[in-house]
Structure 1
Amino acid sequence: MSQTTDSQDSAPASQSSSDAVSPEFQLDEIVVTAQKRSESLQKIPIAVTAFSGRSLEARGINNVLEVATLTPGLQLSNASGEVIPFLRGVGNTANPVGNEASVAVYVDGVYFSRLPSGFFSLANIERMEVLKGPQGTLFGRNSSGGVIQIITPDPSHSTSLRGHIGYGSFSTVHGDVYATTGLGEKAALDIAVAGTKQGHGYGRNITSGHRATFSDDFTARTKLLIELGDRTHILLSGFYAYARNGALGNTYPGTTQGLQSPPIAGTPASFSAAPPLDFYDQRSDLDNHNLARAWGGSLRVEQELGNLRLKSITAYLHDKEHQLIDGDYGPRPNYRADLFSKVEQITQELQLSNAPGERLSWIVGLFYYNASGKYDPLAFQGSAFFPNDVVGDSIVNSFSIYGRQRAKSYAGYAQATYPILPRLKITGGVRYTMDRLSGSGHNDISVANGIAFIPGPVVTGRDRTNKLTFKVAADYEFGENILGYASFSRGYKSSNFNLLPFSGVPNKPETLDAYEVGLKSELFNRRLRINAAIFRYDIGNPQVQLLNNGAVVLSNADSSRVTGVDLEGGLKVTRSLTMTFGATYLNSKYRRYLGAPSGPPNPVAPFGSVSPQIAIDASGNRTPMAAKLTAVAGLQYIMETAVGALDLSTDYAYNDGFFWEPDNFLNQKPYHLVNAQIRLRPSDKISTAAWVKNLVDEKIAVFAATQEGPSGYPFVAGPPRTYGVTLGFEF
Structure 2
Amino acid sequence: MMKVISCALLASSALVAPLTSHAQTAPKPDASAAPAEADAGDPASSSAAQQSGGGVAEIVVTAQRRSENLQRVPVVVAVSTQDELQRAGISDVQNLKLVAPGVEVQSLNGSALPIVRGVGSKAIGAGIETPVAIYVDDVYIAAATSTLLSFNNIAQVEVLKGPQGTLFGRNATGGLIQVRTLEPTSTATGRVAFTYGNYQKARVDAYVSGGLTKDLAGDIAFSSTTMGKGYGRNLVNGAEVYKIDHDFGVRSKLLFRPSDATSFKLIGDYSSARNSMNAAKIGPGATAPAPYGPAFTGRTWDIAVDEPPLVKNEQGGVSLRIDQDLGDIQIASITAYRKSTVYSSFDFDYTATRGRYAEFKVRDSQFSQELQLLSPSGGSLTWVAGAYYFKASARYPFAIARFAGPAVIPTNPPTIQQTTRAEQKTDSISGFGQATLAVTDGLKLTAGLRYTSEKRTLADATQFLTRTDGSTVTLVPLYTESRRFNKLTWRLAVDYQFTNDLMAYASYNRGFKSGGFNPQTLTAGSFRPEVLDAYEVGFKSTLFDRKLRFNASGYYYDYKDVQLIRALPIGTGIYNSAKAEIYGVDVEAVARITNELDLRVGYQYNHGEYTSFPGAQVAVPRAAGGYAITTGDVSGNTTVLSPKSTLSATGTYTVPVGGGSLEFSGTYYHNSGYFHEPDNVIRTPAYDQLSGSIQWNVENGLFVQLWGNNLTNVAVPAVDGVQSLGTTGLRRTVWAAPRTYGATVGFKF
The normalised TM-score by structure 2 is 0.90
2:270 counterpart letter in structure 1: Y
Structure 2 distance, partners of 1:24, 1:82, is 44
Q: Pick from 318, 331, 345: which aligns with 1:324?
A: 345
SS at match of 1:420: strand
1:686 aligns with 702
Structure 2 distance, partners of 1:679, 1:528, is 25
Residue 48 (structure 1) aligned with residue 67 (structure 2): no
Residue 522 (structure 1) aligned with residue 542 (structure 2): yes
Structure 1 distance, partners of 2:228, 2:510, is 46
2:647 aligns with 631
SS at match of 1:42: helix
Q: Per-residue deviation at 1:254? A: 3.8
Q: Pick from 585, 588, 601: which aligns with 2:621?
A: 601
Q: Per-residue deviation at 1:648? A: 0.6
1:361 counterpart letter in structure 2: T
Q: How does 1:161-180 map to 2 (within 5 A)?
A: 161-180=190-209
Q: Per-residue deviation at 1:252? A: 4.4
Q: Which moved more, 1:96-105 or 1:212-221?
A: 212-221
1:383 aligns with 404
SS at match of 1:434: strand
Q: Pick from 671, 690, 699: which aligns with 1:655?
A: 671
Q: Per-residue deviation at 1:65? A: 2.1
Q: Pick from 490, 493, 499: which aligns with 1:479?
A: 499
Q: Pick from 610, 621, 629: which aligns with 1:590?
A: 610
1:423 aligns with 442
Q: Per-residue deviation at 1:119? A: 4.8
SS at match of 2:689: strand
Q: Per-residue deviation at 1:220? A: 1.0
Structure 2 distance, partners of 1:569, 1:192, is 33
Q: Per-residue deviation at 1:276? A: 4.1
2:555 aligns with 535
Q: Per-residue deviation at 1:455? A: 4.0
Residue 87 (structure 1) aligned with residue 116 (structure 2): yes
Residue 724 (structure 1) aligned with residue 738 (structure 2): no
Q: How does 1:205-216 map to 2 (within 5 A)?
A: 205-215=234-244, 216=246
Q: Deviations over 1:280-305 (max 9, x none)?
A: 11111121111111111111111111
Structure 1 distance, partners of 2:352, 2:83, is 46
Residue 568 (structure 1) aligned with residue 600 (structure 2): no
- Contact 1:679–1:687 under 8 Å retained in 2: yes
1:230 aligns with 260
Structure 2 distance, partners of 1:642, 1:9, is 28
C-alpha distance 38-684 of structure 1, shift in aligned 2 (>3 A): farther
Q: Per-residue deviation at 1:444? A: 1.9
Q: Per-residue deviation at 1:102? A: 0.6
2:488 counterpart letter in structure 1: L
Q: Per-residue deviation at 1:11? A: 2.9
Q: Per-residue deviation at 1:118? A: 6.9
Q: Per-residue deviation at 1:380? A: 1.3
Say what the alpha-carbon RMSD is for the aligned residues: 2.0
Structure 2 distance, partners of 1:154, 1:273, is 54
Q: Deviations over 1:91-121 (max 9, x none)?
A: 1111222211111111000000113367511
1:473 counterpart letter in structure 2: A
Q: Pick from 693, 704, 708: which aligns with 1:677?
A: 693
SS at match of 2:259: coil
C-alpha distance 677-567 of structure 1, shift in aligned 2 (>3 A): same
Q: Which moved more, 1:296-305 or 1:58-67?
A: 58-67
Structure 2 distance, partners of 1:58, 1:274, is 39
Structure 1 distance, partners of 2:384, 2:553, is 26
- Contact 1:248–1:715 under 8 Å retained in 2: no
Q: Pick from 525, 529, 540: which aligns with 1:505?
A: 525
Structure 2 distance, partners of 1:295, 1:353, is 30
C-alpha distance 186-385 of structure 1, shift in aligned 2 (>3 A): farther
1:369 counterpart letter in structure 2: F
2:551 counterpart letter in structure 1: N
C-alpha distance 279-504 of structure 1, shift in aligned 2 (>3 A): closer
Q: Deviations over 1:497-532 (max 9, x none)?
A: 001222483201000000000011111111112111
1:141 aligns with 170
1:392 aligns with none
1:398 aligns with 417
Residue 303 (structure 1) aligned with residue 332 (structure 2): no
Residue 11 (structure 1) aligned with residue 41 (structure 2): no
2:540 counterpart letter in structure 1: K
Residue 289 (structure 1) aligned with residue 310 (structure 2): yes
C-alpha distance 711-618 of structure 1, shift in aligned 2 (>3 A): closer
- Contact 2:48–2:60 under 8 Å retained in 1: no
- Contact 1:599–1:707 under 8 Å retained in 2: no
- Contact 1:599–1:708 under 8 Å retained in 2: no
Structure 1 distance, partners of 2:630, 2:525, is 22
SS at match of 1:542: strand
Q: Per-residue deviation at 1:310? A: 0.5
2:366 aligns with 345
Structure 1 distance, partners of 2:499, 2:217, is 43
Q: How does 1:544-583 map to 2 (within 5 A)?
A: 544-549=564-569, 551-583=571-603
2:6 aligns with none
SS at match of 1:66: helix
2:554 counterpart letter in structure 1: I
Q: How does 1:95-174 map to 2 (within 5 A)?
A: 95-116=124-145, 119-174=148-203
C-alpha distance 94-599 of structure 1, shift in aligned 2 (>3 A): same
- Contact 2:93–2:105 under 8 Å retained in 1: no
Structure 1 distance, partners of 2:352, 2:283, is 18
Q: Percent identity?
A: 33
Q: Where do 5+ consecutive residues of structure 2 fail to align?
A: 1-11, 13-45
1:20 aligns with none
Structure 2 distance, partners of 1:507, 1:387, is 27
Q: Per-residue deviation at 1:333? A: 2.9
- Contact 1:461–1:504 under 8 Å retained in 2: no
Q: Per-residue deviation at 1:643? A: 7.1
1:277 counterpart letter in structure 2: G
Structure 1 distance, partners of 2:704, 2:242, is 29
SS at match of 2:84: helix
Structure 1 distance, partners of 2:501, 2:299, is 53
1:267 aligns with none
Q: Per-residue deviation at 1:448? A: 4.1
1:80 counterpart letter in structure 2: N
Q: Deviations over 1:167-202 (max 9, x none)?
A: 011111112111112211121221111122122111
Q: Where do 5+ consecutive residues of structure 1 fail to align?
A: 2-7, 14-22, 263-270, 390-394
